[in-house]
Amino acid sequence: MNLTPETLRKIDEVIPHYPVKRSAVLPLLHFVQEEQGYICDEAIEWIAARLEIQPINVYELVTFYPMLRRKPVGRRHIRVCRTLSCALMGGYRTCAEFQSQFNTGLGGVSPDGEVTVEFVECLASCGTAPVVMIDDRLHEHVDPARARALSQEIKAAAPAAGAR
């Protein structure tokens, strides 16, 4: 299991925070996903062994929490809130705009590998609806026009096709 020294350091630091080792499973899953982009089989078994629990105990969590992924996502991760306040302000149209900009469905990776577009539940910023998270940043008041602009930014920042 090839984790970077930085990730291993973070793991070693976080485990003693808890009187019971098993509590560290979520932090470890976050660290591994931040480094590798998703949680693979090997990661589940490695984390289970590290915390002296069974692989099923880790697997149960990875499949429960929507933020933990078993497969990689596109280079940019676009999460559109679909809950009531954002929907009232047009969140569904925003999502449709992103999908159309990258010619992609919900979930999965777009044909150019750039994005994964998905719906998520309330992101706790209802006053500035519709909101969208792109990677770790929250974008507010994202109507279809703003979605178009953000998509252009993503495409402009994409590595040149040859460089990939």
Partner 1 sequence: MPAPEQHRLIFRHIDEPGYSTDLACYLRSGGYEVLRKSVRRRPEELVDEVKKSGLRGRGGAGFPCGVKWTLLDRKSGKPIYLIVNADESEPGTFKDRYIIHRDPHQLVEGIMITCFANRVERTFIYIRGEFPEGAKILETAIAEARAANFVGPNVLGTGYGCEIYLHRGAGAYICGEETGLIESLEGKRPYPRIKPPYFPAVLGLYQCPTIVNNVETICHVKHIADMGGDAFSKIGTPNNTGTRILCVSGHVRRPGYYEFDVGKLTMGQLLNEVCGGPLAGRKFKAVIPGGASAKVLRFGERYKGRRKVGAEMLEYDWGVEDIPMDFDSLAMVGSMGGSGGVIVMDDSVSMVEALGNINAFYSHESCGQCTPCREGSLWMKKITARMAHGGARPEDGTLLKSVADQIAGRTICAFGEACAWPTQSFVAKFGDEFAEYGRQKGRPRSDSEPELV
Partner 2 sequence: MTQPATQDLITVNIDGREIAVPRGTNMIEAALRLGIDVPHYCYHPKLSVAGNCRMCLVEMGMPAVDPATKAPVIDPATGRKRINWIPRPTIACSTNAVAGLHIRTTSPLVRDCREGVMEFLLVNHPLDCPICDQAGECKLQEQATGYGRGYSRYIEQKNAKPKRTLLGPRVMLDDERCILCSRCVRFCKEIAKDDVLGFTDRGSYSTLACYPGRRLENDYSLNTVDICPVGALTSTDFRFKMRVWFLRQTNSIDTGSSVGANTVVWSREGAVYRITPRQNDEVNDTWMADSGRVLYKAIRAHGRLDAVRVDGAQSALEFAVRAAAGILGVGGVAVVGSGRSSVEEQFLTRKLRDALGASASLVSRVGKGDGLLVSADRNPNVRGALVTGLVAGLPAASLDPLGAQIDSGAVKAVVSVGEDLADAGLSAAQLAKVPIVYLGTHANPTSAAARVVIPTLTVFEKSGTFVNQQFRIQKFANAVPGVAGATDDLVALARLTAAVGGPSLGGDVRSIWKQIAAEVPALAGVGYDGIPDTGLLLDGAPWAGLAFAEGPSLRFRPADPPQKEAAGRG
In this structure, the dihedral spanned by the alpha carbons of residues 137, 143, 148 and 152, taken in order and rounded to 10 degrees, is: -20
For the chain, where are the alpha helices, taking DSSP H only? 5-14, 25-36, 41-50, 55-64, 84-88, 91-102, 144-157
CB atoms within 10 A of CB 151: 21
Cα–Cα dist 145/49, whole Å: 48
- Specify the stretch interacting with partner 2 by CB under 8 A; choose among 29-37, 51-59, 93-101, 106-114: 51-59
Examine residue 41 and tell whether it contacts partner 2 (CB under 8 A). Answer: yes
Per-residue binding string, partner 2, 61-90, x by CB under 8 A, is --xx--------------------------
54 interacts with, out of partner 2, partner 1, none, CB within 5 to 8 A per kind: partner 2
How many degrees, rounded to 5, is the angle at CA 137 between CA 12 and CA 125?
110
Residues 75-134 contacting partner 1, CB under 8 A: 82-85, 87-90, 92-93, 120-129, 133
In the complex, the residues that contact partner 2 under the rule CB under 8 A are: 41, 44, 53-57, 59-60, 63-64
In the complex, the residues that contact partner 1 under the rule CB under 8 A are: 17-20, 22-27, 29-30, 51, 53, 57, 60-61, 64-68, 82-85, 87-90, 92-93, 120-129, 133, 136-138
